[in-house]
Amino acid sequence: MRQKIDYGIDLGTTNSAIARMDSGEPVIIKSDETQMDTTPSCVAYNKKKSVYMGGKAKNIIQNEAVTALKNRKTTPPNGYQEFKRTMGTDHQYRSTNMEHAYSSEDLSAEILQKLKSYSSDEAINAAVITVPAMFKQSQLDATQRAAELAGLGYCELLQEPIAASIAYGIKTAQASGYWLVFDFGGGTFDAALMHVEEGIMKVVDTEGDNHLGGKDLDNALIDQLIIPQLQQQCALDDFLDNQEYVALLQAAVKRHAEEAKIALSSKSDWNELLEDLGNDDDGEEIQAEVSISLAQYEAACEPIFQQAIDIVKNVLARKGLSGRDLQSVILVGGPTFSQTLRRMLKEQIGGNIDSSIDPMTAVAKGAALFAATRDIPLVLQKRDSTKAQLSLKYSDTTVEPYVNLGIRIDRNQSSASLPQTFALEIIRGDSAWSSGKVMIEDDAELLELLLNEGKANQFTLKLSAPDGTPIPCEPSSITIINGLKIASATLPYAIGLELYYTDSASEGVLPIKGLEKNTSLPAKGTARLKTMKNIRPGNRQDRIVIPIFEVSSGFEKEVSRAILNNFHSKVIITGDDFPSLLPEGSEVELTLHIDASRRTLVSVYIPAFDESFDFTIESRIEPEIDSEELHKQLREASQSARTLASEGIADAEAQLTILEKAQQQLEHRGQERDTKEQIQQQVKTAFLTLDKFNKQDAWPQAQAGLEEALEELLELQQQTGSREESEQIARHQQDARTIINGQDVNSAKKLTKAIEDTAFQLKMKDIRFWVGFIYYLDEDFDRISWLDKATARQGVQQLKQLLEMNPDIDRLRPAVQAVLQLMQNSSYADLGNKINTNLLRT
């Protein structure tokens, strides 16, 4: 029975692999049928409901795509690939052969099970699974669920670039300096900057793009070269007017694009006769000689590679480094075979570009090495108590030539009758070193083991009675890695809370102290907050909701709008949890504990009660992006970029180019969920960049904002004729004059917010506001994300009925508020940009 996890799995977008530690070496377990190192991450179900994985499934997918094209029918397919790209979302892969639809985690579990089956001599119930460094919380949680579905009782997650650098580091013992892991896979790109000093490895910084990979190269070749050539040689103009048909054709020629791409990694041209693709507009069979030269390939693919290189430049720049400072650039992932990419890296980054490790298996091997240092939790270790049970203490990775091993014999855990004293011999795997027979009295001993340098060392433990009779023991072997002190995982995103910050009078997300980007894991961060309302004991409606976010890169030091960050999860505390009243303004201490696999535990301490509450939190399943909303955001971002670009700001021009490309992409492939996510990310990045420039004219903007808010308030006061707020408004006017004289941005913002609050109080007294709200909820119903759509629809209907009864404001207001509770936070946050939601829901 293994005490260490020992198995590493690279669950890739395109290809997956499994490795395990055998006699101190990470060894790939080859696929059962084809004896390949890697298995395509493809799953297919046939009419007889059999499931296929790997290469066979890939063939089924390709054939199915061609059949669909010939029939011009988009029946749901029965084969799936690249489902890792929708990990953590609610996307369902429908199937005609099977009764139900599949989520990404279902399909990933099939792959995991397949990989597990390659190990014919041993059942696997614990593994280290690798994930892209920039995976979001929802994607990590989905990966854990997939592992569980696949029957892995225990699973740890490891960032892919760290895995690759472990595999690399063990080969390149004692190298010092900076390493850059350049991991360009099928669907994700990760860059990790590592620092190694005398074998001690540290992750300095990571950055990446969850929507950048070989798939984008395929798409570029299909859309820019293959389909246009088909269109030139066949009658396809009408056909290509139909977006659904275009999608069918894109899928059917994908395998040719991949072939072309792989050929052009090392050759200077590619051509092939494409046929068997159904008929064109004239009823003739589609047949065309398609050729792609290296120059054409480069024109299409360089911009995609450039995105990855720009990410690297960015990482280097923010650490004050240049390519020359890199000891090695480690290439990982299939597309890094490309001569074009390698040339671009050489030209733009320089440094020693190292392709000495196999870019397809390094991640799985590194994961196995890491797994050799991780314990299977005791409850899951099926210990055989008939053997003598040993407790061992040692460090599993070291840069020293010796390691101390503490041994204790656990009589309590062993059912076998054991002698009073023992003899123990420890033998290194290569038999070149042994401890000799050591007598153990008092059941404990400390030994020094001699290691082979720059290697994973395996030792066998042989226990015997003083008369020489062997005594079976557990564990009977251990692995210690020398030459490399493995890096801890780090946080790829800072973790922040969405709060109202009284200092800056703004609402938004700010990282928690202790959970900044690149913090080594496990880590802990604490934030102290003050409640903004009374929480009555036993009252479920009295809630404090604290949304947690993964902070977007670039916003680590300032409060940023919630929608620009990734939603992580939320903590909800209700009056139900409390023994007595928690008055407004009470202190609450929130602590997040994040482990090496980025599992998060939250504890909330309330000083007033001197009591803590623990929560395990789960991320949400990401809903599909609304196309209309995305178009709107894209327009807004483009508009803002255009304005700034016309002022000659180069970064804005660059963003504008990206956004224009995104616009085209949305037209080409707008029906693909993945494309939408990719574009949303680009829009976010654009907003992040542009927000910075907008901040540069902070004062004029702050002044304008303040004046505008004041004007609106005065107008409202006139309209409503309300007198209650007169004094307050006069004070606001007075304060505004003082602040404008002093040109103080922060105070201006604070006051603007206060004025808006007053205006909002006024508005809320007006029944027309609530009536207007009902119309909004009704008209935008489908565009709003609801927690429970059916109940929400019922609620809105009831509101409309209520309207007909001419209610007074005291009846209408709570009724509308009740429906607002049913909104998902994302939609509620959108609302927040228009109206002050702080005051609304409660």
Q: Which residues bind ligand ADP (CB under 6 A)?
A: 12-15, 185-187, 213-215, 258, 261-262, 265, 333-335, 337-338, 360
Tokens, residue 481: 């890695």
- Beta carbon nearer to ligand ADP, 361 or 825: 361
Between 17 and 527, name the residue whose CB sits nearer to ligand ADP: 17
Nearer to ligand ADP, 363 or 606 (CB): 363
- Minimum gap (Å) between residue 80 Cβ and ligand ADP: 14
Sign for the CA dihedral angle at 545, 550, 556, 561 comes to negative
C-alpha 70, offset from chain centre: 37
CB-wise, 263 or 764, nearer to ligand ADP? Answer: 263
Cα pseudo-dihedral 633, 635, 640, 644, rounded to 10: 140
Nearer to Mg ion among residue 188 and residue 600 (C-beta): 188
**DSSP strand E in 451-542: where?**
456-464, 470-471, 473-474, 477-482, 494-501, 506-511, 523-530
Within a 10 A sphere around the Cβ of 445, how many other Cβ atoms? 17
For Mg ion, the closer of residues 366 and 429 by Cβ is 366
CB of 79 to ligand ADP, least distance (A): 17
Judged by beta carbon distances under 5 to 8 A according to partner kind, the member of ligand ADP, Mg ion, none in contact with residue 323 is: none
Q: Report in angstroms how near the CB of residue 305 gets to ligand ADP at its nearest.
A: 11
User: Which of residues 79 and 185 has its CB atom nearest to Mg ion in the complex?
Assistant: 185
Closest residue to Mg ion in the complex (CB)? 185
- Min dist. Cβ of residue 160 to Mg ion (A): 6
Picked from ligand ADP, Mg ion, none, the partner binding residue 187 (CB below 5 to 8 A depending on kind) is: ligand ADP
- Strand 126-131 and strand 154-159: pairing? parallel
> What is the closest distance, in whole angstroms, from the C-beta atom of residue 363 to Mg ion in the complex?
5
**Around Cβ 204, how many Cβ atoms within 10 Å?**
17
Looking at 95-103, 185-193, 429-437, 631-639, which segment touches Mg ion (CB under 5 A)? Answer: 185-193
Amino acid at site 817: Q
Strands, E, within 552-651: which ranges? 566-574, 587-594, 600-606, 611-616
| Beta strands in 283-398, from DSSP E residues, in sequence order | 288-293, 326-332, 353-354, 388-393, 397-398
Question: Distances in Å between the alpha carbon of 474 and those of 117, 158, 407?
Answer: 25, 27, 12
- Smallest gap from residue 592 Cβ to ligand ADP (A): 30
186 binds, among ligand ADP, Mg ion, none (CB under 5 to 8 A by kind): ligand ADP
Q: Taking the complex as a whole, how short is the minimal distance between the CB of residue 84 and ligand ADP, in angstroms?
A: 7
Using rule CB under 5 A, residue 185 touches Mg ion: yes
Q: Where are the alpha helices (DSSP H) in 765-788?
A: 767-779
CB closer to ligand ADP, 314 vs 339:
339
**Strands lying side by side in the sheet with 326-332:** 200-209, 189-197, 177-184, 326-332, 353-354
Shortest Cβ 468–ligand ADP spacing (Å): 52
CB of 188 to Mg ion, least distance (A): 7
* Candidates 11-19, 370-378, 444-452, 605-613; binding stretch for Mg ion (CB under 5 A): 11-19
Candidates 331, 360, 358; CA nearest to 346 is 331
In the bound state with Mg ion, the residue whose beta carbon lies nearer, of 429 and 492, is 492
468 close to 477: Cβ distance less than 8 angstroms: no
> Interface mask (CB under 5 A) for Mg ion, residues 544-563, using x and -?
--------------------
φ, ψ (nearest 5 deg) of residue 363: -65, -45
Contacts of 612 (CB under 8 A, 6+ apart): 603, 604, 605, 606
Among 12, 26, 214, 525, which residue interacts with Mg ion (rule: CB under 5 A)?
Answer: 12
Chosen from Mg ion, ligand ADP, none, partner binding at 477 (C-beta under 5 to 8 Å by type)? none
Chosen from Mg ion, ligand ADP, none, partner binding at 366 (C-beta under 5 to 8 Å by type): none
Task: Extract the runs of DSSP E, i.e. beta strands, from 283-387.
Answer: 288-293, 326-332, 353-354
C-beta closer to ligand ADP: residue 337 or 500: 337
Q: Which does 262 bind (CB under 5 to 8 A by kind): ligand ADP, Mg ion, none?
A: ligand ADP
For residue 261, the partner it binds in Mg ion, ligand ADP, none, with Cβ less than 5 to 8 A by kind, is ligand ADP
What's the CA gap between 302 and 674, in Å, rounded? 21
Contact 333, 359 (CB under 8 A): yes
- Binding status of residue 132 toward Mg ion by CB under 5 A: no
Q: Do 300 and 224 form a contact (C-beta atoms < 8 A)?
A: yes
- Shortest separation between residue 14's beta carbon and Mg ion, angstroms: 8
Q: Which is nearer to ligand ADP, 309 or 688 (CB)?
A: 309
435: partner contacted, choices Mg ion, ligand ADP, none (Cβ within 5-8 A by kind)? none
DSSP string, 683-739: HHHHHHHHHHHHHHTHHHHHHHHHHHHHHHHHHHHHHH---TTHHHHHHHHHHHHHH
User: Binding of Mg ion at residue 359 (CB under 5 A)?
Assistant: no
Q: Are 403 and 480 in contact (CB under 8 A)?
A: yes
Residue type, 311: I
Residue type, position 454, single letter: G
- Residue spans of alpha helices (H) in 96-178: 104-117, 137-149, 160-171
From the list Mg ion, ligand ADP, none, pick the one residue 14 interacts with, judged by a Cβ distance below 5 to 8 Å according to partner type.
ligand ADP
- From Mg ion, ligand ADP, none, which one binds at residue 492 (CB under 5 to 8 Å depending on kind)? none
Q: How far is the CB of 110 from Mg ion (least distance, A)?
A: 18
Give the residue with the Cβ less far from ligand ADP, 245 or 337.
337
Report the interface residues with Mg ion, using CB under 5 A. Answer: 12, 185
